[in-house]
Structure 1
Amino acid sequence: MTATDLPAKPYRNTAFDASINNPSAYASTLDDSFAAIDWQASWLCHLNQLGYISKSISQLRGLKNDPAQTEKLEHTPDIIAKVLNTALQKHADALQQSLPQTKPALNNQAQTLKFVSQNELPEGEAYERFIGTTGNIPTRDNLHDLFNGSIWLTFPKTKALLNYYHMLEIKEQGIGASRGRVRDTITVFDENGAILVTAESSIGKALVDFDWQESLVAPRDKWDEPKQLNKQAQAAVYIFGHALLEKLLHPRKALCAHSIVINVTQDFFTLSLSERINHLDQKVADYMDALLSEPDVSPRKLSPLPILGVPHYWAENVQPSFYEDSQVFRSGRRSQS
C-alpha cells in the first residue's frame, strides 16, 4: 500500500467540539437571518447531520441574543466552517468510513474535503479549481454557505462529480463572461436542483411532460411523507440546490426547482433515510456524469418542478385546486416519449 492509498487522517477540531458541548465559551458571528430557518421543514429532513447542525446553530444564536452572556463571549470567526467540519466527521464516524474526497481531475490526486475560511481562497483562483486541488471548500458565515455545506455533507459524491466537470471545463474554456452549456447546467442544478426518486416510472414521465395531474395530484397516495417514511411509497423529492433551500426560508408558490428523475426499485423505499441518501448519492452522480457528457447538454435537460407542489411539502397542496394555477403549473415546452 502506497502513502496515497492510506485512508485520510480524520479532521478533528477538538476546541470547537468542546465549544459546542459548552457553547458559553464562544460567541456567534451569525446574523439574524439564521432565525428564519425552520428546522422542521419537510424539505430539510433528508440533510445529513441535520440534528447536530440545527442544535449548534440554535445554541450559538441563543448565546448571541443573551445579554447576560455578552461580556463572557469570545468572538469566533468562520463558525459555519467549524460546525460543518464537525458534522462531516460525525457522519463519517457514524458510517465507519473515512472522510469524503474530491474526484481527481487533470492529474490532481483525490483530496479529503474540509470546510475552510473564505479568506483561504487565493485572489484570482477559481473557486472550483481551489476545491479540486486542495479539498478545501471556502465557506462564509452566511445562510447560502451553510446550505451549500449541508449539501456537500449529504451528497458528497455528486458534489465532487460536479466540481470535477467544472475543472475540466475551466481547463478547456478558461474563465470568461460565458460559462458554456456544461457549466451552466451544473450551476443551475447545483443552485436550484431537486431529485425526484420514483419506483413508478409513469410519475417521472408525467413530471418531465409537465403533466401535473398524473405526477403530483392523482398519485398523491404513492408519495412519501418526509417526516414519516412510508415503505409502500413510490415517489419522493429530495432537494439538491442550496440556493433553493435558502429561497425556501420564505416559501412562495411560484418557486420552481430544476429537477432530474431517478428511477429505483421498490426496495429503495424500504431503506432508512440515511441509507436512501447514501444510495441516492451514487445514483445521482452517475446520472449527472452521463448527462454532462452529452454533446447537447443544457439546463433545458432539467425538468421544472414547482417545489411547493410536491405532496406533503406544503399544507395547501392537499387541495387539488392548488394545482389549477396556470401561472405556476404551466403547460410544457416539450413532451418526451
Structure 2
Amino acid sequence: MSLSGFTAPIWLLFLIVVAALAIGYVFAQRWKKRHTMRFTNMDLLEKVAPTRPGVARHVPIVLLLVGLLTFTIAAAAPTQDKRVPRNRATVILVLDVSLSMEATDVKPSRLAVAQEAAKDFADGLTPGINLGLVAFAGTASVLVSPTTDRAATKAAIDHIKLSERTATGEGIYSGLQSIETLGQVIGGAEAPPPARIVLMSDGKQTVPDDKDTSNPRHAFVAAREAKAKGVPISTISFGTSYGTVEIPNDSGGTDTVKVPVDDDSLREIAKLSGGEFYTASSLEELTAVYDTLEQQIGFEITRGDASRLWFLLSGLFTAAGLAVALLVRQRLP
C-alpha cells in the first residue's frame, strides 16, 4: 500500500520508533550474552543457569513489535476501494430490432436470446438506477423512458416487433434524448446523473448508408455526440458471421440473405464514444457480457476507511505477546 492510500501518513513516522525498539532489543541481547560469557568457571555457570533460555524467549517481543507495527498502520488511517451501489445513474438499453434478428444461428433465434438476456440485465441492475429502453430498425422508438420500474421495461422487451432496415445512429440519438429529458425532469442537482448507453446490434447500419460517415444521422457522428455529452456507449456485437434470414421476394418465394455481425462498426462506435466493445454469439456469452456491464454500471468505486482491521490486528498481536510472556517467561517483557 502506497502513501497515497493513507489519510494521515504522518503517523507512519512512528515506524522509526518501532525499528529503533527492534534494533535496541537485538543489541540488548548481544550485550547480555557478552556479559554472561565473562564467567570463567563454567561449572558455576551451569549451577546458576542450568537451562539456557531458548528461542521462545524472543516470541513475546516479536509479537509486541508486530502489534506496534500494525497499530502504526492503523493510526495512519489506511483506505481501500469499496464498491458502493449507485443510486443516481441512467442506463439506456438500445436494441436492434431489424429483421436480421430472426436469424437462428443463435438458438432458438437471435431475438429470443436477446430478449431473455436483456430482461436478466434489467433484473440485475441495482434498484436505484433509472433504466430506459430504445428499439431501432429503420427508425428508433423510445419504448420505456428511464425509470426504476423494471416490470415496465421487461414487458416492453417481451412485446418487441421486428422491422426492416437498421438505423443505428437513430437508436443512439434517441437514447441521448431520453437521458437529456430525464436530466431536465430531475433538475436541481449540481450535475446530471452519470449515464451510459448499452447498444446491442447484430448487423451493419443501412440507414443512412454505412459508408456515408459524414451524414449527421450516421452512427459514428452520433457516437461523437455521445462523447461530447459525456455518455459512453457500451456496444455488444451479437450473432455470428454465418447467420442468414429468409426474405420474401417479388415472385412469392423467399431469398436466403446473409446477415453477419458487424464487429468493426460497433467497435468504432464504442471507441468514438469512450465506451467498451463486446462480442457474444450465444445466450451464455451475452449473459456474461451483461453481467460485466452490471458490475461496471451498477456500482461505483469509492475510497473508504480500512483502519478497523489493522486496529484489531494490533490488539491481537499485543495480547498474544503479553500472554506468551507470562506463559514462557512468567513475567511481562
Q: Which has the higher contact order (CA 8 A, sep 6+)?
A: 2
- Write 1 or 2 for the structure with the bigger share of strand: 2
TM-score, normalization: structure 2?
0.23
Whose radius of gyration is greater, 1 or 2? 2
Given the two structures, how large is their TM-score scaled by the length of structure 1?
A: 0.23
